[in-house]
Structure 1
């Protein structure tokens, strides 16, 4: 029975979710590594300019956050490997004990068989039976005992094979864990280098407070102009509806259907650029350099490569294409009750009234070669006059 108990344990241990957890962590690790590689490429583009910029600092901040997340994932994976190793060592110990007991029992049977190896002993034992039925039962006993001895030998072989497999897997897991430990140490070294670079950039930017304050004022003007344009669109459509005797924000059946479909795709909308990293998030947050200064972002800022195409995140109708002083060109697309806003564009290829489809190109991200070659798309989502966090809508 002990052999079967060990076998059950060996079957249960791999099903504790450890294998699946490792698989999930490895997938997460690969995704984070891909983000780090892409951010590194963007940083390499900015490194071609000796000029210190807020964009470079934000990319560094993003890189540090990604690296920290990767280290955390590696640490979690190491913990799981430790659990796997402990389970494997327990399995091996139990198998070794079972194998020792099986060998001792088998040796005892062999010694007993050797003592009773004379065929005449078996024959006399059968002939001394008091009845035919008793003789038959004794014959069955000899056969079963012989089969049991054979089965015992096969079990020893099977347990030995399982034991050897477990020892091999244990060594593989120890090697995998050591690889993870070495990788974690390397990531910590890289993180320390990035933090050093971050401190350097922060110090340089701290000496440029006047320029940063001017940039912040310009950014606020751009945000205000975008809000005014969106409000103008909403009010214009409301006036048209009221002139036709309809409620102020009434939607046509087709617009309502598009809006419903848009909302149903929450968390599943594609990114407005094929590749990019978010360097400034939605809402109010502390300025990365200026103390006691908060920044409000009505959307997200996405850093991408030079020449990246901007695309509609969902089918809809172009409501506005207009220029912004200091903010290049912006495009607003209506999707029923929702609006998506794409600003800091150049070479826009759509116009007001155009119907666009999901992932259709609408323009190119503007690259500021006077500011370390940064390529930043500013992306917003509105539900009528209510600002929405784009990260709640685009696919992770």
Structure 2
């Protein structure tokens, strides 16, 4: 009879051990993955916060004129986009926390059921031990054996039974500790969710303020529609002049060998300035103020936060240093069959024909005397095809 009882206990022991092992593995993997996802989101959010801070400094540094109102509008539009990305990251974090909370609660419910099973089993063991508490019972159990071999087997069974009872007590303690750890995790996750919800509330307030500022700027600029159209026509003519200079150079020059591996660095090129924000993207997009008006950009415009140095994004040869109305001075670098263009420079530190390496100082960005930052116009060409620089620069 004791052998049958012990075998049933042994089977139950194996199943419970298996559950605890699988449960612990799932808990470790689940906690690790959710933690990694949240850490990745927080790293991204930290970068977005730094970008918002730099954009705010640029906004505060601007003088209030018609020209700078348009620049401020571009900066505000950029900041609104960043804040929307920031909010999306927070919402993603909350979704991860909610999923983790749900999984932890499911595991807690399952673990509580298993603990009840262990307690019931352990109580049965204690009752069985109580029934056999008399040493005479154990002696009779040994003496009733058919020979020494069976008596020894019964002795081993009793030893295993005692060890199993101790293991059940330890298992109960381990399960209860695990349950406590899960409950602590849930408390921490609830606090994290509460903090994230507060962040969302704060960001919505800031976003609303940004949108109000943007609307005020748009209304102010709409009163200047005639001036805006004149400015747009002037800028388009200047952009065409720069494009014609580049195309003329392409027609009259041959691809060199310096920096010919440029194509291998797509998505890996350094930025042409150390600090700055893209305020006008590549390609065609609606005018921020004028209705039914499309503006075209052959590159990107980067708003800097000071009299920043401009750097070569890759090894190459200085092909042209030219003055362009509206772009001040432009530097064109050839990298094999590719070209990079750095326009709106105030000072230039290189000369035509000079070989430069990645990171070489080309000069400084032009800025107005009363302004704390300027705008670098940057283009990338593959022969006569314009490319979006964002796809080539390191994120």
TM-score (norm 2): 0.92
2:91 is equivalent to residue 71 of structure 1? no
**Which segment is superposed worse, 191-200 or 113-122?**
113-122
Hey, what does 1:306 align to over in structure 2? 306
2:49 is equivalent to residue 11 of structure 1? no
From 151, 168, 186, the counterpart of 1:170: 186
Hey, what does 1:242 align to over in structure 2? none
Task: Work out whether residues 305 and 372 of structure 2, in 8 Å CA contact, stay in contact via their aligned partners in 1.
Answer: no
Q: What is the CA distance between 1:134 and its match in structure 2?
A: 2.2
From 108, 127, 131, the counterpart of 1:111: 127
2:209 is equivalent to residue 193 of structure 1? yes
Aligned residues: 378
Q: Within 1, Cα distance between the matches of 2:381 and 2:223? A: 37
Q: Within 1, Cα distance between the matches of 2:207 and 2:17? A: 50
Q: Within 2, Cα distance between the matches of 1:284 and 1:83? A: 41
Deviations 1:170-198 (A, max 9, x none): 11111111111111111111100100101
Deviations 1:105-161 (A, max 9, x none): 212211221222111110011111223222222112111111100111111111121
Any residues of structure 2 matched to 1:91-102 within 5 Å, and which? Answer: 91-102=107-118
2:378 is equivalent to residue 379 of structure 1? yes
User: What are structure 2's unaligned runs of at least 5 residues?
Assistant: 1-14
Hey, what does 1:49 align to over in structure 2? 64
Q: Within 2, Cα distance between the matches of 1:178 and 1:269? A: 40
Task: Work out whether residues 271 and 393 of structure 2, in 8 Å CA contact, stay in contact via their aligned partners in 1.
Answer: yes
Q: 3-state DSSP class of the match of 1:225?
A: helix
Task: Work out whether residues 307 and 373 of structure 2, in 8 Å CA contact, stay in contact via their aligned partners in 1.
Answer: no
Any residues of structure 2 matched to 1:158-307 within 5 Å, and which? Answer: 158-237=174-253, 249=254, 251=255, 254-255=257-258, 258-259=259-260, 261-307=261-307
CA RMSD of aligned residues (A): 1.6
From 141, 145, 150, the counterpart of 1:134: 150
Q: 3-state DSSP class of the match of 2:374?
A: strand
Task: Work out whether residues 3 and 98 of structure 1, in 8 Å CA contact, stay in contact via their aligned partners in 2.
Answer: no
Runs of 4+ in structure 1 displaced over 6 angstroms? none
Task: From the superposition, tell whether residues 11 and 73 of structure 1 become closer, same or farther in structure 2 (CA, over 3 Å).
Answer: same
TM-score (norm 1): 0.91
Task: Work out whether residues 49 and 373 of structure 1, in 8 Å CA contact, stay in contact via their aligned partners in 2.
Answer: no
